[in-house]
Chains A and B, each alone.
Chain A
Amino acid sequence: MATMKFMCDAERCIECNGCVTACKNANEVEWGIQRRRVVTLNDGEPSEVSISVACMHCDDAPCIAVCPTETLFQRDDGIVLHDKDLCIGCGYCLYACPFGAPQFPKENAFGERGKMDKCTFCAGGPAETAEEEYQKYGANRIAEGKLPLCAEMCSTKALLAGDAQEVADIFRQRVVQRGHKDGGWSGNQRREQNRARTGQPDLSAADTLAYDATQQG
C-alpha cells in the first residue's frame, strides 16, 4: 500500500502561490479558508527561502489524537481526512497541528468556530453522494487516479505529491544532480562550517544567486 505524502523542495519554491490558487480552484473552499499557504522566511534577504505548507498527512497525526469527536481519521494510504458531520468546532486540532492546517469558518458571533476544514490531499471525505462530497470537502481527484492539483500545477515542480517512496526518489535524484553537500535541505553544512570558522555568515556569493537557475533535475 502506498503512503501518500507532500514534499516541498524549498530550493525550487519561487513563492508564486500557484499551489494556493490551484487548491482554492480545485476544491471551491469557503470564503476565508485557504487550505494551502506559502511561508517565506527572511523575505528580501540573501537567505530568503519559501515553502508551501498544508496538511502534511502525518503518520502519527496529533489532530487525530486530540479530537474529542473522532472527526479526524487516517485512510490506509496515509491520507488524513475529516468528517464534517462529527466536527463541533472546538479547535483542539488547531492547537495540536504542527503545520497550522485546520481552519474554521467564522460563522457566528463571538468568533464561534464553524466546522473545521483542511487539506484532503484532494481525496474528498465521507459523504453519501459525489455532489455532497464535493460540496463539503472539494474534489476527490485521488478517486479519479489524479494527484492533488497544487502539486500537479506547481510551475517549478517544487511541490511534490504522491507515494512517499517515489517522492523521496525524485528528491534524492535532485540532490545528487545538484552535486554538492547542501543539495538537500537538511542543513547547510558548508555554510555552517564557514560561519563557525569566520564567526559570521558567508554572504560573498549573494550577488550571483542567478546561477541557481542552471540547476538540473
Chain B
Amino acid sequence: MSKSIPWWALWRLPLLALVLVASLGAAQFALAQADPDREAATAVPAVDADAWRQIKSGETGPNYRDSRFDSNYNLINASGETWRQIRDRWVSPFGVIAVVGMIVVIALFYLVFGRKKLDEPRTGRKLPRWSLMVRSLHWTVATLFILLALTGLNLAFGKAIFRPVFGDGAWAAMMSGTKLIHNYLGPLFGILLVILLVRLLADNIPRKHDLNWFAKGGGLIGKGHPDAGFANAGEKVWYWLLATAGIAVIISGLVMDFPNYGQGRDTMQWANIIHAVGAFGLTAVALGHIYIGTLGTEGSFEAMATGYVDETWAKEHHNLWYEQVKDQAIPGEQLEAASRSSTGDEPEPRSG
C-alpha cells in the first residue's frame, strides 16, 4: 500500500512552481549575458570552408541526409553550370557551323568541280555489288539516321526557328512528336547500325593501298584514280567513323533514353555532350556521304538502289575489286529480264 500525501501538504506545489519559474528567469538572464566569443563557440557551426569544399565536390558521405525519397542528389549540382556552358557556348554554335558549313562546302564544290562523270563509256555489263540484305539495312539505317538527325537538330535549335513561326499549340505538339521519334527510333537505329557494321566489317579492314588513296586525296590530286578495293579509303573512313563515333552516340543516347538505371546527373551531362558532339559530326560527314552517293558521282547511286554497278564504274572507282570479280559481269539486258519476271508471280531471284 502506497503512502498517501495529506491534502494540507499540497501548499508545497505552488511554491515549487515559483522556485522553478524564478530559477528559469535567472538562467535566462545568465545566458543572455554570454559574450560573443562564447556564442560563436557554441553556435551551429554554419558553413565553413570545409563544408563548402565538400558541397562543391558533390561528395555526400555517410552522414549526408536528403529528405527526398530515393534521392541520389548532393546539395549543389556544381557541374550543372559547366554542362550548360559547354553545351550552349561550344557544342551548339559549333554544331551549326559544322552542319551548315558542310552544306556550303558541298555546294561550292559542286559549283566549281561539278559532277564526277565516268571517264569511259559504260559497257552495259553489270557487276553485283550490294545484296538485298545490305541494301535493306542501308536504306533502313539511312532513313532512321535522317529522321534522328532532323529531330535532333529540332531539339537543339527548333526553339529559335519554329516557335515564332507556328505558335505555341502546334509547336508543343511538334516538340512532343520530335522527342518521341528521337527516343523511340534511336534504339532501333542503334541495333540496325551494329548489324550493318558487322555485315560490312570484312570489306572495311584498312589496307596499305589506302594510304596512297589519301595521299592522292581520293583522286582529286593528280590524274587518274588511286587504287581501291571493294571499299575505297574514303568509304572506310566513313565506316570507321560510324563504328567509333556512331557507337559512342548510340551508347550515350541509351544512357539518356533510359534514366531508370540510377545513372546520376553527372553521367547524363557527359552523355549529352558526347551525344551532341558525335551526332553533329556524323551529320556533317553524312551530308558528304549523301552528296557523293547521289549527285556527286555518276553511277554510285544505282549501286545502292539496284544492287548492281556498271563494269566501267567498277573499273574506275574500285579497280582492285574489279580485278577479282570481272568474270561475274552479266549483260544488263539479262538483269532487266530477270527483274521484270520478278514483278510477276515467279519468286524473286536471290541477288548478291
Mark A residues whose CB is within 8 Å of B: 10-11, 15, 17, 20, 32, 34, 37-49, 51, 53, 62, 65-70, 85-86, 88-92, 94-100, 106, 110-113, 178-188, 190-192, 202, 204-205, 208-212, 214-215
Contact = CB atoms under 8 A, between A and B. Distances in A.
B76 A90 contact: no
A180 B46 contact: no
A62 B168 CA distance: 22
Interface footprint category on B: 35 or more
Interface in B45-66: 45-49, 51-52, 54-55, 61, 63-66
A181 B40 CA distance: 8
Contact of B67 (A20, A66, A205, A210): A20
B191 to A, nearest CB: 15
A-B pairs with the 3 shortest C-beta distances? A111-B260, A205-B41, A40-B65
A69 B87 contact: no
B345 interface: no
B81 A96 contact: yes
Contact of B179 (A45, A51, A89): A89
Contacts of B87: 66
Contacts of B36: 179-180
Interface of B: 28, 31-32, 34, 36-49, 51-52, 54-55, 61, 63-69, 71, 73, 75-78, 80-81, 83-84, 87-88, 155-156, 158-159, 163, 168, 171-172, 175-176, 178-179, 183, 256-261, 265, 268-269, 272
Contacts of B178: 88
Contacts, number: 190
A102 B73 CA distance: 12
Given A17-B67, A51-B75, A178 B43 contact: yes
A86 B173 CA distance: 8
30 contacts: A10-B47, A32-B69, A37-B67, A37-B71, A39-B75, A40-B64, A41-B55, A41-B64, A49-B45, A66-B88, A68-B175, A69-B175, A85-B172, A86-B171, A88-B175, A89-B179, A94-B265, A98-B78, A100-B68, A113-B259, A178-B39, A180-B36, A180-B37, A182-B40, A182-B43, A185-B47, A192-B48, A208-B42, A210-B42, A211-B38
A95 B267 CA distance: 9
Contact of A65 (B32, B84, B183, B258): B84
Given A111-B258, A211-B31, A97 B41 contact: no
